[in-house]
Amino acid sequence: MTTAASASNGPVGPVDSSRIPRYAGPATFARLPRLDEVGGRADVAVVGVPFDSGVSYRPGARFGGNAIREASRLLRPYNPAQDASPFALAQVADAGDIAANPFNINEAVETVEAAADDLLATGARMMTLGGDHTIALPLLRSVAKKHGPVALLHFDAHLDTWDTYFGAEYTHGTPFRRAVEEGILDTSALSHVGTRGPLYGKKDLDEDEKMGFGIVTSADVMRRGVDEVADQLRQRIGDRPLYISIDIDVLDPAHAPGTGTPEAGGLTSRELLEIVRGLSSCNLVSADLVEVAPAYDHAEMTSVAASHTAYELTTIMSRQIAAARG
């Protein structure tokens, strides 16, 4: 396979799609090299976590990471929206998957945390492809070991700050309550974006507010516009280390049918992409994108939206790495 760059003259880039058809070869993210092909070190490591044993409704997100990789074959190396060639600015590589026990959630959480520790120890920032939202907790634990409590932007139809499901503390609806309890989040800089739909009761909102979260609903985005929302989020985050967690169900089912718990009235894919681009000045230390369930994904709409969102997040991290190097 022919890459856009070689190790001798800069970062190893993606396979050259003008010479090798997009549908040929292994489906790494954006057709980038595997981590072992760049000496086991990358500035940004794209890693999958095929785990969905924490879901409360439709399963299938264990196949999300590879669906995003397949859809990412269409990505190109220059990002005009951010005026950057992210794969030339920093070494981005596909780190494969973290294999977690599908029959033991507690063990799986420990496995993901340990694997994330290893990746971060190399100096990489992580762009993680889920999997269900349970994985956000061990990822945040790992990032907080390196950066201290981090600011969090959580894009989701749901709060994910509930206490338990069927007595289980670790599920896709509980990661951010656990993260607040463990002191790994900067509670002065927490925001949900795109929330909507029915709740169990008003106490859900009251408890969420007590944890420190601000809420920008999908209706707020519609009424106020993406520029105003992005500006509000930037002000709340400031220069704190930022972790972004995106559940693809933040998008309306018209844009992302392939997810486990869809809710009507969500963001458009354009709104999500524009808000993310508006965060390019923030200190983004790692991110995840979860809950893509390809079995329900008509015409790969969800996977395409997810791959482009991951591309924007990766671009932000690559630009910041390059700027830090001068």
Q: How many domains is the chain built from? A: 1
**Within a domain: residue 211?**
yes
- Domain range enclosing 105: 38-325
Find the length of the chain.
326
**Within a domain: residue 7?**
no
Query: Residue 301 sits in a domain of what CATH number?
Result: 3.40.800.10
Structure tokens at 54: 């924490």
> Which backbone phi and psi does 187 adopt, to 5 degrees?
-70, -5
**Partner residues linked to 128 by β-bridges:** 47, 288
Q: In what order do the strands lie in the sheet with 241-247?
A: 92-97, 44-49, 125-130, 283-290, 241-247, 150-155, 185-195, 213-217
**Within a domain: residue 27?**
no
Q: What is the DSSP letter of 50?
A: -
Compute the distance between CA of residue 283 and CA of residue 150 in angstroms, rounded to an integer. 10
Compute the distance between CA of residue 43 and CA of residue 54 in angstroms, rounded to an integer. 30
**Within a domain: residue 238?**
yes
Structure tokens at 57: 């409704």
User: What angle, rounded to 10 degrees, do the helices at 269-277 and 301-325 form?
Assistant: 10
Residue-level pLDDT at 326: 87
- The position carrying tokens 């983004």 is 284
**Within a domain: residue 12?**
no
- Helix (H, G, I), strand (E, B), or coil: what is residue 278? coil
Stated as kind and residue range, the H or E segment containing 206 is helix 202-210
Compute the distance between CA of residue 191 and CA of residue 189 in angstroms, rounded to an integer. 7
Structure tokens at 37: 């092909």
Q: What is the mean pLDDT of each run of 10 residues along the chain (326 residues)?
A: 56 95 96 97 98 98 98 98 98 98 98 98 98 98 98 98 96 98 98 97 98 98 98 98 98 98 98 98 98 96 98 98 95
Ranges of beta strands (E only) in 236-315 are: 241-247, 283-290
**Within a domain: residue 19?**
no
User: Model's pTM, two decimal places?
Assistant: 0.97
Residue-level pLDDT at 8: 55
List alpha helices for the chain, DSSP H. Answer: 64-71, 86-89, 105-121, 136-147, 175-181, 202-210, 218-224, 226-237, 269-277, 301-325
**Within a domain: residue 9?**
no
**Within a domain: residue 140?**
yes
Compute the distance between CA of residue 60 and CA of residue 55 in angstroms, rounded to an integer. 9
List alpha helices for 122-212, DSSP H. Answer: 136-147, 175-181, 202-210
DSSP string, 19-36: TS-TTSS---GGGPPBGG
Compute the distance between CA of residue 275 and CA of residue 88 in angstroms, rounded to an integer. 24
SS3 string, 121-137, reads HCCCEEEEEECCHHHHH
Task: Taking the CA atoms of 236, 122, 106 and 249 in sequence, report the sign of the dihedral they define.
Answer: positive
